[in-house]
Amino acid sequence: MARKPFPQLTVTITHLDMAGMGIATHEGRQIEIGNCLPGDTVDIQVFGKKAGVWKARRLSLVSNTATRQAGHCSVAGLCGGCRFPDLAYSIQLGLKQESLDRFLGPLKDSQSGPILPAIETRFHRNKMDYVFGINALESASASTLILGLKKRGDFRTIVPTPDCQLLDPIANAILAETCTFFRERGFLAWPNSHTQTQEDPVYLRYLTLRHSKTTEKFLITLIVNRMDPCFTEWANRIMSTFPMSGVLAGIHAGSADTSTPGAYVLLSGEAYLEEKLLGTTFRLSPGAFFQTSTKQAEVLYQEVLRAGAFTAEQRVLDLYSGTGTIGMLIASQVREVIGIEEHPSAIKDAQTNADANGLRNIAFIEGRVRNVLKFNALEADTIVVDPPRSGLEPKVIARIAARSPKRIVYVSCQPVTWKRDIADFALLGYGVTSLQAVDMFPHTPHLEIVSVLEPLTISSLPLA
C-alpha cells in the first residue's frame, strides 16, 4: 500500500515556540513551520513528522498581522545570521516573553521580572564565524570566492554580508580585504562533503573574528586545510591596515564542517585578545569560550551575582567553569572558589587570567565534571553550573544534590534542557525559587536563564 503523501495546507500561526518556530494546528495536529510570526496566514508544505508533530516549510505568505519593517541590512531574510531582522526589537522582546511564559507553565510565577533586554541590538557581538564559499546570489559566477554567512535554512550555501551589523563595522572591511586578497590569488573554498587527500590544494574554510569592546582590537583566525606561504603576507597586510591584536591560521583538514581547528599557527602579532567584564580583565586565546556580547554578558553575570547572594565565608563550586569567567567574578565576594572544566586550553586560560587579576582564592581542576565530583570530596555552600546546551548529565545532577548545597545557581543557554534538568533536581529535593531570563541574542529566539534552586521543605511541591 502506497504511503499517503504529506499535504499542502493553509494555516494561521498562533504562537512561536522556544526555538522561534511558528506553531499552527490542523485537525488537532500540531504543525511546526519556520520563517513565520504569530498572526501570519501561510501556505505550507508538510514534509515530515517527529514525535507526532508535523514539520512544514512555508510556501507563501497569504496575510499577516505582524508589524514588519525593512531589514537593517541588504541580505536580511536571506542570511542566517538573524532570525527576526524585520521586527522592531520591542516586538521581538514581547514575542520572546510570550514564548517563555508559555514554556514555563507553573514556573512562570518564579520569574523575578520580565526578560532583561539587550543593551545594544546592533554591532553588539564580539565574535563571529564567517564562511568561505561560492556566491549564493544569481548574478554571481559559480566560481566566485565569497566570504559571508550561511543561508537561512540552507547550510551548504553562503551569502556575502557586506553590511552586516552584528560585529563591529570594521569587520566588514576586514572581510572585504581578505576576500579580495585570496580571490586575486585564485584560492578556493572548501567543497561541501569533502574528504581531505594528499593531492588537495589549499582550501579556505572559515574566518573567525573576535573583537574586544575594551581595546577595540581584533583577533583573527583563518581556518584552512593546510598552510600556504602567502598567509603571512595576508596577515601582515591585515595587521598594518586594521586595529589588530593578532592574526593566526587554524588547521582543520577533517571532513566535519566546524570552525574549530586542531592546531593554531601564529602569523602576526599576539595570539590573544584582552577583554574586561565588571572590572576584571580576561585574556582570550583564539578558541576560548566567552559570551558573544560583552555588554550583555555583564548584565548576565550581575544577575548570577545577585542570584548567588554570596557571602565572605562561603565556598563555591563553579562547574563547567570554562575560562573562569563566572568564578573570577565571584571570587572577590567569597572565601574560596573551585572551578571544574574538562578542556585543558580553557583551564590554562583560566589560571592565566586568575594570576593576572591577582586572585589567590580560586583554583581549577581539569576533568569531566561527573568524574571530578565522583572521585573528590568537594563540598560547597553554593554550586554554580553553566553547562553546554546539552545540559547536565543525570550523574552530575545526582552528585550535586548528594553534596546538599544550600543553593544551586543554574545558568542555562538552552531552556529546553534546563527544564528537563530542574525536573530531575525536584525528584532529589531541590526546587526553583527564582529565575530570570536575559536576552543575550537580539534578532534570534534564544535566551539565557539564571535560576536559583534550593532545598524543598516538606510542604513544598516540585515546581518543575
Q: Give the pLDDT confidence of 219-259 residue by residue, as tens digits.
A: 999 999 999 999 999 999 999 999 999 999 999 988 888 99
Mean pLDDT, rounded, for 160-173: 94
DSSP bridge partners of 206: 131, 223
Same domain, 245 and 315: no
Which range (127-136, 303-312, 344-353, 363-372) has the least confidence? 127-136
**Per-residue pLDDT at 280:** 94
> How many Å apart are CA 214 and CA 329, to the nearest integer?
17
Same domain, 331 and 418: yes
Which strands form 430-438's sheet, in the order they lie side by side? 362-366, 336-341, 315-319, 382-385, 407-412, 448-455, 430-438
Is residue 353's pLDDT more than 50? yes
Residue 18 lies in a domain: yes
Residue 104 lies in a domain: no
Residue 100 lies in a domain: no
The residue that leads in pLDDT, 345 or 251, is: 251
Last residue of a domain, one of 277, 304, 324: 277
Last residue of a domain, one of 277, 297, 317: 277
CB-CB contact of 217 with 239 (8 Å): no
| Host domain of residue 410 | 109-120+286-455
In the block, cell 531582522 appears at: 85
- Determine how β-strand 22-26 pairs with β-strand 29-33: antiparallel
We report the CATH number of the domain holding residue 55 as 2.40.50.140
Which range (159-168, 365-374, 450-459) has the least confidence? 450-459
Residue 32 lies in a domain: yes
Mean pLDDT, rounded, for 317-322: 96
**Per-residue pLDDT at 115:** 98
Same domain, 300 and 395: yes
Same domain, 348 and 419: yes
- CB atoms < 10 A from the CB of 461, how many? 9
Residue 336 grid coordinates: 574560596
pLDDT digits (tens, 9 = 90+) for 116-160: 999 999 999 999 999 999 764 545 444 689 999 998 878 788 999
Mean pLDDT, rounded, for 98-113: 94
pLDDT digits (tens, 9 = 90+) for 395-446: 999 999 999 999 999 999 999 999 999 999 999 999 999 999 999 999 999 9
Which range (13-27, 64-78, 82-96, 212-226) has the least confidence? 64-78
Active site residues per annotation: 413
CB-CB contact of 340 with 364 (8 Å): yes
Residue 407 lies in a domain: yes
Same domain, 300 and 448: yes
- CB atoms < 10 A from the CB of 348, how many? 15
Residue 75 pLDDT level (bands cut at 50, 70, 90): confident
CB-CB contact of 438 with 300 (8 Å): yes
Same domain, 360 and 259: no
**Per-residue pLDDT at 38:** 93
Residue 198 pLDDT level (bands cut at 50, 70, 90): low
CB-CB contact of 42 with 53 (8 Å): no
Same domain, 40 and 148: no
**Per-residue pLDDT at 279:** 92
Mean pLDDT, rounded, for 58-87: 84
Domain count, the chain: 3
Same domain, 348 and 236: no
Last residue of a domain, one of 242, 277, 312: 277
Residue 27 lies in a domain: yes
Distance of CA 322 to the CA centre of its chain: 14
**Per-residue pLDDT at 71:** 65
> How many Å apart are CA 42 and CA 48, to the nearest integer?
18
**Per-residue pLDDT at 128:** 96
Same domain, 176 and 48: no
We report the CATH number of the domain holding residue 236 as 2.40.50.1070
Mean pLDDT, rounded, for 375-391: 95
Residue 304 pLDDT level (bands cut at 50, 70, 90): very high
> How many Å apart are CA 413 and CA 388, to the nearest integer?
7
List CB contacts of 94: < 8 A, sequence separation 6 or more: none
Mean pLDDT of the residues in the chain: 92
Is residue 41's pLDDT more than 60? yes
122 secondary structure, DSSP code:
S
> How many Å apart are CA 321 and CA 367, to the nearest integer?
11
> How many Å apart are CA 142 and CA 125, to the nearest integer?
31
Residue 21 pLDDT level (bands cut at 50, 70, 90): very high
Same domain, 164 and 260: yes
CB-CB contact of 134 with 148 (8 Å): no
Q: Provide DSSP, 283-336.
A: EE-TT----SBHHHHHHHHHHHHHHHT--TT-EEEEET-TTSHHHHHHHTTSSE
* pTM for this prediction: 0.91
Same domain, 19 and 42: yes
Residue 3 pLDDT level (bands cut at 50, 70, 90): confident
We report the CATH number of the domain holding residue 442 as 3.40.50.150
Is residue 461's pLDDT more than 50? no
CB-CB contact of 437 with 116 (8 Å): yes
The residue that leads in pLDDT, 339 or 134, is: 339
Same domain, 40 and 138: no
**Per-residue pLDDT at 463:** 47
